[in-house]
Chains A and B, each alone.
Chain A
């Protein structure tokens, strides 16, 4: 069946087209709109986008396959990206992945049997000072430990992504445990030798003395 955007989103496409001197430049933003509506970039979406932006389907498909965040196959209700690059791995990224695989019942790159979660490995998500972390759908969850991760995943399964994000995501506090600072980040006491501003949060206490390794 042919794909169509909702009237509101069609309106957004018109608005996006005014931002660029060339029609083609709207390709990434329009693909995002479609993926938000459809969950993935199906062949029907590719045809719709190609027609809307006056491009060939080959060009659209070529762009879709270049970018990791455009899915060219269906994914679960929630997409979990676990960061596995060095800063996260130095603080337990691998264990976070192992735990997720056990909990969700699927290995990275696959969707859980109940269809609720797709688990993917991610390369650096630019939250290195708040490692380890995962991204679920649009939101970051940082300074993780396994108990916190369990709560986050359970909330996604029970309430859906937006509600779970409102409760647990660390986006609004730049990594601080949710609710602890009401969205503001305070300066830490200056270090002995000179003034400095500390921006990111302390890791939660359970994470604090993790120097000894195992």
Chain B
């Protein structure tokens, strides 16, 4: 089993003024792009990315190499690369670090990727709040262009490449790839019906690949090491490489950590994030952004059957299963963005759930009725539970509303709301029933805070 001992993705983060071209180049930036564009064929590069088994880092975990293979260009069509930097999934804060601390890695990845998929233009769609990241990226792009790495003849070859930054304006839904494309085209960020998928008809009606920032930023390492070697850094089959893990909430050292695919949640919390804040017990952890169903450390993996993908971990805690796209799906949750929200035993799950459902109510684009109405009703019911106006039936009502949202809308937003809601009720049902009968217990504030201000701060 191989481990990544040296940081790859984040190797330049520690360099003084790492975002400047000269400093990044001294640490190797653009060497891979130069080599790839001047000595390799696009199909070879595509093959490396495919062999790398890189699962999309934006949350859905689709293999990026396979996605690239879906491109279907008709005569005269132009291919676009769109990089999704609309990082807004609650709990997720990894892409911003790439844009702020090593923008040249993203630009280099974009150059190689454009060459590999035969695109001439890449758009980086950055969420509107990140004005600072936009400025860093624009400077990086201008410097790379000045150096001859972008423009009409990047590295002297006959394949024009331009990279543009497009700023959003505050809408979580624009992280959904078709909503993002609408937003890029100057429309309201409402998701489109699929098919046609973006690889067939995407930006401006042309075949388009939409990839997450971290996915594209991994491309230079993949090309340099070779897809097989990069894939082998991960510890799970079909799920390769290293990734940036994030931890927020009740841990001693919240932050970002680079590690191979396949560490466990327990390792992430205890070894990387320094353990629980104040050494309190871990109550629950949302593994990869708020749309991924919660994990309960008390629950054991139930996989007695030898064919079950999780049989190896039968009887162990949920948080001891290696974090991978497929392992977590088998566990009934999702790996998502790999950025965990950790909650200790002082958190009331009904209250936490209400906080998240308010997020979804606010961010629903309103296009589909089950989502627009469903998110509102979930918040109303949870408000009642939190305010002592609940009824025991309300718990099943939450389940009922969620089930009526799943699969009934244009995009995955409604599923991304219903799944964590159902997970919460399934795993912490007693707490919801308790709230329905007695309201929130003493000590939990009955306003909209999950937890009162921490000591030494207020």
A, B from the same assembly: yes
Where the two chains meet, the residues of A that have a C-beta atom closer than 8 Å to any C-beta of B are 19-22, 24-29, 31-32, 53, 62-63, 66-70, 81, 84-87, 89-96, 98-99, 122-131, 135, 138-140, 145-146, 169, 171-172, 174, 182-188, 191-203, 206-207, 209-214
Closest Cβ of chain B to A148, distance in Å, is: 10
Q: Tell me whether A185 and B101 are in contact (CB under 8 A).
A: yes
Q: Is the CB of B339 within 8 A of A128?
A: yes
Contacts of A94 in B (CB 8 A): 447-453
Report which residue of A90, A123, A169, A199 has the largest number of chain B beta carbons within 10 angstroms of its beta carbon.
Answer: A90
Assuming the contacts A128-B90, A196-B272, asked whether A19 and B186 have C-beta atoms less than 8 A apart, the reply is: no
For the complex, is B288 an interface residue (Cβ under 8 Å from A)?
A: no
> In the assembled complex, which residues on chain A have CB atoms less than 8 Å from the CB atom of B14?
184-187, 197
Residues of B318-343 at the interface with A, using a CB-CB cut-off of 8 Å, are 339, 341, 343
The number of A-B residue pairs with CB atoms under 8 Å apart is 285
Docked-complex contact B166 and A29, CB < 8 angstroms: yes
Q: Mark B67-81, 1 if CB is under 8 A from A, else 0.
A: 000000000001000
User: Considering the chains assembled together, what is the distance between the CA atoms of A201 and B256 in angstroms?
Assistant: 9
A171 vs B136: C-alpha distance when bound (angstroms): 11
Instruction: Show 23 residue pairs from A and B whose CB-CB distance is below 8 angstroms, ordered by the A residue.
Output: A63-B186, A66-B189, A69-B170, A84-B448, A90-B450, A92-B457, A93-B449, A95-B453, A125-B129, A126-B95, A127-B93, A128-B91, A128-B249, A182-B16, A197-B10, A198-B256, A198-B257, A200-B255, A200-B256, A203-B254, A213-B346, A214-B453, A214-B455
Cβ of B178 under 8 Å from chain A: no
Q: Is the CB of B277 within 8 A of A210?
A: yes
- Do A139 and B132 touch across chains, with their CB atoms under 8 A apart? yes
Known contacts A128-B91, A135-B129, A198-B257: A69-B339 contact under CB 8 Å: no
Asked if A131 and B254 make an inter-chain contact with CB atoms under 8 angstroms apart, the answer reads: yes
Q: Which residues of A contact B352 (CB under 8 A)?
A: 86
| Residues of B close to A32: CB separation below 8 A | 128, 167, 169
- A29 and B167 within 8 A (CB): yes
Neighbouring A residues of B453 by C-beta, 8 Å: 92, 94-96, 98, 214
Bound state CA distance, A139 and B365, in angstroms? 26
Assess whether B90 is in contact with A129, with CB atoms less than 8 Å apart: no
- B183 interface contact, C-beta 8 A: yes
Identify B13's interface contact among A28, A169, A185, CB under 8 A: A185
Alpha-carbon gap, A169 to B278, bound state (A): 28
Contact B186 A211, beta carbon cutoff 8 Å: no
Q: Is B58 at the interface (CB under 8 A from chain A)?
A: no
Q: How far apart are the CA atoms of A86 and B424 in the complex, in Å?
A: 14
How far does the alpha carbon of A100 sit from the alpha carbon of B314 in the complex, in Å?
49
B57 within 8 A of A: no
| CB nearest neighbor in B for A53 | B186
Kindly state whether residue B215 has any CB partner on chain A within 8 Å.
no
Given A26-B186, A131-B254, A195-B259, 20 extra CB contacts under 8 A: A66-B171, A67-B128, A69-B169, A92-B452, A92-B454, A92-B457, A95-B453, A99-B458, A123-B359, A128-B246, A128-B248, A139-B132, A171-B100, A187-B14, A193-B267, A195-B3, A195-B4, A196-B258, A209-B456, A210-B455
What separation, in Å, do the CA atoms of A173 and B257 have in the docked complex? 16
Chain A residue nearest to B131 (CB atoms) is A138
Nearest neighbor of A196 in chain B, beta-carbon distance: B257
Is B90 a contact partner of A68 (Cβ separation < 8 A)? Answer: no
Cβ of B344 within 8 Å of any chain A Cβ, yes or no, is yes
Q: B168 at interface (Cβ–Cβ under 8 A)?
A: yes
- What is the minimal beta-carbon distance from A107 to any residue of chain B, in angstroms? 13
Please give, as numbers and ranges, the residues of chain A lying within 8 Å of B204 by CB-CB distance: 20-22, 25
- B: which residues have CB within 8 A of A? 3-7, 10, 13-18, 78, 87-93, 95-97, 100-101, 127-132, 162, 164, 166-172, 183-190, 204, 244, 246-250, 253-259, 263, 267, 271-272, 274, 276-280, 286, 290, 339, 341, 343-344, 346-347, 352, 355-356, 359, 362-363, 365, 447-458
> Which of chain A's residues have a CB closer than 8 A to the CB of B127?
126
Q: Is the CB of B89 within 8 A of A124?
A: yes
Q: Given contacts A135-B129, A198-B255, are A191 and B170 in contact (CB under 8 A)? A: no
CA distance A20 to B95 in the complex (A): 25
Contact, CB under 8 Å: B450 / A171: no
Q: Which residues of A contact B13 (CB under 8 A)?
A: 184-185, 187, 197, 199
**The 7 residue pairs across chains A and B that have the minimum distance between CB atoms:** A211-B278, A95-B453, A210-B454, A94-B449, A27-B186, A200-B255, A67-B169
For the complex, what is the distance from the CA of A197 to the CA of B9, rounded to whole Å? 10
Q: In the complex, are the beta carbons of B100 and A174 less than 8 A apart? A: yes
- Give the CA-CA distance A146 to B453 in the complex, in Å: 10
B192 to chain A, nearest CB (A): 15
Contact with A89, one of B164, B256, B355 (Cβ below 8 angstroms): B355
Chain B hits for A138, CB < 8 A = 131-132
Give chain B nearest CB distance to A88 CB in angstroms: 8
Which of A26, A84, A206 neighbours the largest number of chain B CB atoms within 10 Å of its CB? A84
| Residue in chain B with minimal CB distance to A67 | B169
Q: Which residues of A contact B10 (CB under 8 A)?
A: 197, 199
Taking a contact as CB atoms under 8 Å apart, the answer to whether B168 and A67 are in contact is yes
B451 and A86 within 8 A (CB): no
A201 to B365, CA, bound (A): 34
C-alpha spacing A26/B363, complex, angstroms: 24
Contact A91 B454 (CB under 8 A): yes
With contacts A22-B185, A67-B170, A68-B170 known, is A184 near B93, CB below 8 A?
no
Report whether A212 and B341 are in contact in the complex, using a CB–CB cutoff of 8 Å: no
* Contact of B92 with A126 in the complex, beta carbons under 8 Å: yes
Which one, B4, B17, B131, B255, contacts A184 given CB within 8 A?
Answer: B17
- Whether B100 lies near A206 (C-beta < 8 A) is no
Name the residue of chain B whose CB is nearest to the CB of A88. B248
**Do B455 and A213 have beta carbons less than 8 Å apart?**
yes
Contact B97–A174 (Cβ < 8 Å)? yes
Are B346 and A68 neighbours in the complex by a CB distance under 8 Å? no
Question: Which residue in chain A gives the minimum CB-CB distance to B453?
Answer: A95
